[in-house]
């Protein structure tokens, strides 16, 4: 185990961070070490540049890999930048950090729910618990690490408030910055909140997978999955982060060497198919993600890299489509945004409030992206590989990672047949 591995943070967002101009000082060092490690095969390394809009689920993929190192240590292992095995376990200070993040996620979600309770007039009279939250909201940063007992109790009482529950049921109508992070739903029930706000709370791996903290910069992670070495660079996708993308991608491509198999891993949140863009009329956040993907595909330096798309948040997408049966406005939105890619039969079913096969609706999203890919001018030398994913679902992600080696080897051999 590397000398510094016990002191280094292994949590997503805190590991092997690139310096501000996008160069990894460690990268050069690492290249010389891998080739000369005693007893090591001159093994291939599958290298992923993971990118997408903010909140698409990129860091959740990393957290799942870390969780799998915990659940199945014989098959999944984590490494430092010199490919020395390291502990995947979250150290005490990281658990403490996630404890704060999760409490903060819950607080933010309740503040958002309370906002909708007010603006949708869901509560007949005012609530003193809601007043406590409103008073806190401005000062939370300073005191987030030690929420006072009466505030915690007010939060727990609020989650039982029928008005808050009614707002939660209308989550698909929430837009802009006032949206609840998809993973936070996992925490929004009384039993879980009692646990989260107890003094002895230590987040489980599953809780960490559901937590939300935006990534800044570019983070470098290394794992082996059934002996196959993979290196993933996780790029922050918030608007403020996206300005650095070109320099990161150029540096990443130029660090290529023999034995690397390079892939762009583009993560898309299908849940955003109906969320209007906060700044541009007439498009959704999914459209913005699609445009970002097109811009990346136009970049000359990546034409020799494989390109994989994870269509993520399949569970949220499925749930929204299911809700179409009871929510005519959501039905209309779905037809407005996706109708041109849907079969006429399916549109008729949806209009009647009947269920449309999920398989067909997944193909609708894939078709939207395939059409956009056809408009890309820059010639590609590799095909495009796609998967529908639910990054918070450990079983699904483990099945995906278990199969990925064979799939990637086939991809490298016969890229043409992998075109979407
Ligand atoms: N329900 C559900 N939640 C998901 C899924 N994938 C990710 N999430 C949640 O979505 C939130 C955002 O996920 P992140 O992994 O932080 O998103 P990101 O792409 O890394 O975002 P940035 O770091 O801002 O670029 C977290 O609360 C996750 O738990 C999914 O497939 N289903
Ligand atoms: Mg992230």
Burial class (CB in 10 A: 0-12, 13-18, 19+), 49: buried
Task: Report pLDDT digits (tens) over 297-345.
Answer: 999 989 989 999 999 999 999 999 999 999 999 999 999 999 999 999 9
Residue closest via CA to ligand 1's atom 27 equals 183
34 Cα: distance to centroid of ligand 1 (angstroms): 32
For ligand 1, is residue 112 a contact (CB within 6 Å)?
no
Classified as helix, coil or strand, 310 is: strand
pLDDT at res. 199: 87
Residue closest via CA to ligand 1's atom 21 equals 55
In the chain, CATH 3.40.50.300 sits at 3-89+215-411
Predicted TM-score (pTM) of the model is: 0.88
384-388: strand order across its sheet: 85-86, 76-79, 218-225, 228-235, 45-52, 260-269, 306-312, 384-388
Q: What is the number of other CB atoms lying within 10 angstroms of the CB of residue 29?
A: 12
Could you identify the atom of ligand 1 that is nearest to the CA of residue 184?
A: 27
Task: Report pLDDT digits (tens) over 195-244.
Answer: 999 989 999 999 999 999 999 999 999 999 999 999 999 999 999 999 99
Note the CATH number of domain 92-202: 1.10.400
Could you identify the atom of ligand 1 that is nearest to the CA of residue 267?
A: 19
In the chain, CATH 1.10.400 sits at 92-202
- In this model, does residue 38 exceed pLDDT 50? no
For ligand 1, is residue 290 a contact (CB within 6 Å)?
no
CATH superfamily ID and name for 3-89+215-411: P-loop containing nucleotide triphosphate hydrolases (3.40.50.300)
Nearest residue to 232 via CA among 95, 7, 42, 81:
81
For ligand 1, is residue 104 a contact (CB within 6 Å)?
no
Could you identify the atom of ligand 1 that is nearest to the CA of residue 211?
A: 27
206 Cα: distance to centroid of ligand 1 (angstroms): 13
Task: Report pLDDT digits (tens) over 380-418.
Answer: 777 888 999 999 999 999 999 988 878 877 777 665 545
Say if residue 313 carries a ligand binding annotation: yes
């Amino acid at each position: 185990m590397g000398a510094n591995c016990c002191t280094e943070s292994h949590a997503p967002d805190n590991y092997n961070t690139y310096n501000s101009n996008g160069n990894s000082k460690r990268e050069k060092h690492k290249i010389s070490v891998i080739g000369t490690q005693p007893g090591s095969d001159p093994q291939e390394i599958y290298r992923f540049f993971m990118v997408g809009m903010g909140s698409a689920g990129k860091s959740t993929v990393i957290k799942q890999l870390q969780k799998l190192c915990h659940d199945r240590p014989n098959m999944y292992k984590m490494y430092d930048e010199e490919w020395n095995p390291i502990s995947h376990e979250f150290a005490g200070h990281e658990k403490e950090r996630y404890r704060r993040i999760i409490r903060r996620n819950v607080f933010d979600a309740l503040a958002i729910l309370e906002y909708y309770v007010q603006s949708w007039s869901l509560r007949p009279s005012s609530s003193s618990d809601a007043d406590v939250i409103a008073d806190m909201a401005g000062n939370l940063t300073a005191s987030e690490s030690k929420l006072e007992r009466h505030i915690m109790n007010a939060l727990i009482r609020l989650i039982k408030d029928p008005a808050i529950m009614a707002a939660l049921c209308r989550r698909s109508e929430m837009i802009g910055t006032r949206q609840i992070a998809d993973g936070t739903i996992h925490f929004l029930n009384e039993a879980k909140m009692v646990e989260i706000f107890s003094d002895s709370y230590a987040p489980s791996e599953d809780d960490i997978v559901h937590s939300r903290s935006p990534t800044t910069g570019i983070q470098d992670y290394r794992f082996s999955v059934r002996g196959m070495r993979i290196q993933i660079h996780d790029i922050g996708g918030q608007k403020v982060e996206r300005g650095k993308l070109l320099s990161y991608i150029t540096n990443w491509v130029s660090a290529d060497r023999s034995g690397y198999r390079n892939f762009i891993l583009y993560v898309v949140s299908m849940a955003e198919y109906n969320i209007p863009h906060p700044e541009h009329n007439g498009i959704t956040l999914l459209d913005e993600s699609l445009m970002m993907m097109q811009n990346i595909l136009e970049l000359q330096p990546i034409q020799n890299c494989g390109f994989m798309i994870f269509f993520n948040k399949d569970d949220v997408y499925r749930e929204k489509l299911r809700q179409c049966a009871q929510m005519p406005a959501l039905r209309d939105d779905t037809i407005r945004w996706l109708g041109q890619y849907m079969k006429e039969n399916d549109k008729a079913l949806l209009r009647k409030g009947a269920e449309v096969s999920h398989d067909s609706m997944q193909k609708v999203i894939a078709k939207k992206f395939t059409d956009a890919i056809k408009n890309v001018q820059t010639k590609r030398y590799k095909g495009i590989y796609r998967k529908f994913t639910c990054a918070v679902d450990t079983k699904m992600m483990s099945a995906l990672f278990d199969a990925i080696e064979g799939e990637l080897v086939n991809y490298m051999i016969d890229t043409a047949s992998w075109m979407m």
